[in-house]
């Protein structure tokens, strides 16, 4: 791996031997979150991952790594890349933080409680690090892109050896080498996204379901959200690269892929040399011989008619749409800068339901956004009743450093936020249960994923709509498609009766 000139990305690398003074803040290492907000016109290049240098290929022979992942599927998938790089350097995986030669936390910054967990782990590992000073303790992922977090680690968690950002994963071999040989904290966090890096090694879990990135970053800047700062500007992978990866996964026998992006509906908008959007990509992937194709996550604003038309063709494109609404009140949506009104959202849902019968709709909802009145909260309850989501992720608003909403007066008492969350969960669960009840007696197709977590005699699989169904059946149907009849719907899962294997 060559030492390239990365200054065009506003490089903010701190290398211990470059400065005499120990850095005390993100500023000292040259990182600025303001810079992360800028959306420049620099062209994004597609480059291949540099092969791991020969001298680093055996660095991890006989050694282990423990990679702990927090947050969304994007992070889970980044971890597959990190694992791929580490395993190509000779390291093997372990789940034991206390004995591993490298412990790495791939972190999430979307809400405060996710961050608290990481600081808890870092604190707990201090004693381990004292006992085994040769171990490497690293922090990567979205928290590393937050200035205040870098500051806190530099000041209070000096036993950390390595911090690297979401745009720096491909640099891991070099960073790890630096961390191993310098024994002082190595920090490399680029404020700006780099190129789209292709062909990074990956260790995919399971062999049945695989994630495929189609784009990186987010330009939406919803006022509560840290992601546009931690993940940089929207940039799409080239369709030919995505399609080649999906074909390759199909050849390897994967049964299901999930196309990933912070806002998949913006796919292709940045590809200046062609007119090719998410609907076009889905239409092309539809023709590939892979049984199931999912995607996440959608932004209602960019969800166009062509995409609905393509999903309605069915086949391997499953009828599950995760469509975060965040709030049912047009005023709150405006303050969140979501760029749609309650009515526009409902109109989109109407079009989806009309074109795709049996569509399973799920969502994300935030309660307690600054200034949210009881009446506005009731608009959220009523939109849930109107859409009738199959399930929803519900959150209490959490102020994020550097976002516009963090500057708004957070005037809702904690008890009120908790009470609203509770009331919302009750409505969401009641409707989820009613929706599942509608499936009683139906025959559904499942992709069987394995034994149920609680009982090895029971198998579990997922429907096209992503519902988890437990049933008793022959073990050799694991990894295959089966038909079951739904016998006992519950709130979060359903019970079924095994009927037969199916060819898909």
Would you state the structure tokens that stand for residue 421, as one six-digit string? 């969350």
Would you state the structure tokens that stand for residue 434, as one six-digit string? 């009613």
Is 218 part of any known ligand binding site? yes
Please select the residue that binds ligand 5AD; options are 105, 395, 471, 481, rule is CB under 6 A: 395
Would you state the structure tokens that stand for residue 12, as one six-digit string? 């903010």
Binding range to ligand SF4, per CB under 6 A, among 123-131, 216-224, 267-275, 385-393: 216-224
| Spatial distance between the Cα atoms of 59 and 79, rounded to a whole number of angstroms | 19
Q: 426: Cβ–Cβ under 8 A, 6 or more apart, which residues?
A: none
Cis check for the bond before 297: say yes or no (omega within 30 of 0). Answer: yes
| Spatial distance between the Cα atoms of 11 and 5, rounded to a whole number of angstroms | 9
Any contact of residue 111 with ligand SF4 (CB under 6 A)? no
Smallest distance from ligand SF4 to CB 217, Å: 9
Cα dist. 227→29, 222, 254, 269, 403 in Å?
21, 9, 30, 19, 10
* # of chain residues touching ligand SF4 (CB under 6 A): 10
Asked if 68 and 141 count as a contact pair (C-beta separation under 8 A), the reply is no
Residue tagged 């609680």 (tokens): 454
Is 142 part of any known ligand binding site? yes
* Pattern 109-148, ligand 5AD, x by CB under 6 A: -xx-------------------------------------
Asked if 329 and 284 count as a contact pair (C-beta separation under 8 A), the reply is no
Smallest distance from ligand SF4 to CB 233, Å: 11
263 binds, among ligand 5AD, ligand SF4, none (CB under 5 to 8 A by kind): ligand SF4
Please select the residue that binds ligand SF4; options are 71, 84, 138, 228, rule is CB under 6 A: 228
Is 225 part of any known ligand binding site? yes
Any contact of residue 227 with ligand SF4 (CB under 6 A)? yes
| Residue 135: other Cβ atoms inside 10 A | 21
Any contact of residue 325 with ligand 5AD (CB under 6 A)? no
Nearer to ligand SF4, 186 or 222 (CB): 222
Please classify residue 128 by burial: count the beta carbons closer than 10 Å to its beta carbon, then call 0-12 exposed, 13-18 middle and 19+ buried: middle
Nearer to ligand SF4, 286 or 339 (CB): 339
Nearer to ligand SF4, 393 or 492 (CB): 393
For the segment 224-253, give every residue that binds ligand 5AD (CB under 6 A): 224-225
* Pattern 133-172, ligand SF4, x by CB under 6 A: ----------------------------------------
398 binds, among ligand SF4, ligand 5AD, none (CB under 5 to 8 A by kind): ligand 5AD
Smallest distance from ligand 5AD to CB 405, Å: 7
395 binds, among ligand 5AD, ligand SF4, none (CB under 5 to 8 A by kind): ligand 5AD
For the segment 396-415, give every residue that binds ligand 5AD (CB under 6 A): 397-398, 400
| Residue 1: other Cβ atoms inside 10 A | 15
| Spatial distance between the Cα atoms of 394 and 412, rounded to a whole number of angstroms | 17
| Angle value at C-alpha 482, between 210 and 474, nearest 5 degrees | 105
Asked if 400 and 145 count as a contact pair (C-beta separation under 8 A), the reply is no
* # of chain residues touching ligand 5AD (CB under 6 A): 12
For the segment 255-274, give every residue that binds ligand SF4 (CB under 6 A): 262-263
Any contact of residue 220 with ligand SF4 (CB under 6 A)? yes
Would you state the structure tokens that stand for residue 18, as one six-digit string? 């470059």
* Pattern 274-313, ligand SF4, x by CB under 6 A: -------------------------x--------------
| Closest to 109 in 3D by CA, of 191, 47, 165 | 165
Asked if 198 and 159 count as a contact pair (C-beta separation under 8 A), the reply is no
Smallest distance from ligand SF4 to CB 299, Å: 5
Any contact of residue 221 with ligand SF4 (CB under 6 A)? yes
H helix runs in 160-277, sequence order: 172-182, 227-231, 239-251
Q: Is 102 helix (H, G, I), strand (E, B) or coil?
A: strand
Residues that bind ligand SF4 (CB under 6 A): 218, 220-222, 225, 227-228, 262-263, 299
């Amino acid at each position: 791996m060559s030492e390239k000139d990365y200054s065009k990305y506003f490089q903010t690398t701190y290398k211990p031997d470059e400065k005499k003074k120990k850095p005390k803040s993100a500023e000292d290492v040259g990182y600025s979150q303001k810079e992360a907000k800028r959306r420049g016109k620099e062209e994004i290049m597609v480059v291949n991952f540099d092969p791991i240098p020969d001298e680093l290929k055996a660095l991890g022979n006989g050694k282990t790594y423990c990679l702990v992942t927090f947050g969304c599927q994007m992070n889970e998938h980044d971890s597959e890349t990190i694992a791929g790089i580490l395993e190509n350097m000779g390291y093997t995986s372990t789940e034991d933080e206390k004995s591993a030669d490298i412990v790495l936390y791939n972190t999430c910054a979307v809400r405060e409680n996710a961050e608290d967990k990481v600081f808890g782990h870092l604190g707990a590992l201090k004693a381990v690090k004292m006992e085994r000073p040769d171990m490497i303790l690293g922090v990567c992922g979205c928290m590393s892109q937050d200035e205040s977090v870098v500051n806190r680690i530099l000041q209070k968690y000096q036993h950390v050896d390595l911090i690297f950002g979401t745009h720096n994963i491909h640099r891991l071999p070099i960073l790890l080498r630096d961390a191993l040989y310098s024994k002082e904290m190595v920090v490399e966090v680029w404020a700006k996204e780099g190129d789209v890096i292709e062909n990074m090694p990956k260790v995919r879990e399971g062999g049945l379901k695989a994630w495929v990135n189609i784009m990186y970053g987010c330009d939406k800047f919803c006022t509560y959200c840290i992601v546009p700062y931690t993940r940089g500007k929207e940039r799409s992978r080239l369709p030919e690269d995505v399609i080649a990866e999906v074909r390759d996964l199909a050849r390897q026998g994967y049964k299901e892929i999930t196309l990933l992006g912070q806002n998949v509906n913006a796919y292709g908008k940045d590809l200046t040399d062609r007119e090719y959007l998410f609907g076009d990509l889905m239409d092309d992937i539809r023709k590939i011989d892979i049984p199931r194709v999912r995607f996440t996550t959608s932004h209602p604003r960019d969800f166009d008619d062509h995409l609905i038309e393509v999903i309605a063709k069915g086949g391997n494109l499953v009828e599950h749409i995760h469509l975060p609404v965040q709030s049912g009140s047009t005023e709150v949506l405006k303050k969140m800068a979501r760029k749609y009104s309650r009515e526009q959202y409902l109109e989109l849902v109407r079009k989806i339901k009309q074109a795709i019968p049996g569509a399973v709709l799920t969502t994300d909802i935030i309660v307690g956004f600054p200034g949210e009145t009881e009446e506005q909260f009731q608009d959220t309850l009523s939109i849930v009743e109107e859409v009738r989501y199959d399930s929803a992720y519900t959150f209490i608003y959490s102020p994020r450093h550097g976002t516009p909403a963090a500057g708004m007066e957070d005037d809702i008492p904690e008890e009120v936020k908790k009470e609203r969350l509770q009331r919302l969960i009750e409505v969401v669960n009641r409707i989820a249960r009613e929706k599942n009840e509608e499936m009683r007696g139906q025959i559904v197709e499942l992709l069987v994923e394995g034994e149920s977590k609680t009982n090895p005699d029971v198998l579990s699989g997922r429907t096209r709509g992503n519902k988890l169904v437990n049933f008793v059946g022959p073990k050799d149907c694991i990894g295959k498609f089966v038909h079951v009849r739904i016998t006992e719907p519950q709130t979060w899962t359903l019970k079924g009766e095994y009927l037969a294997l199916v060819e898909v």
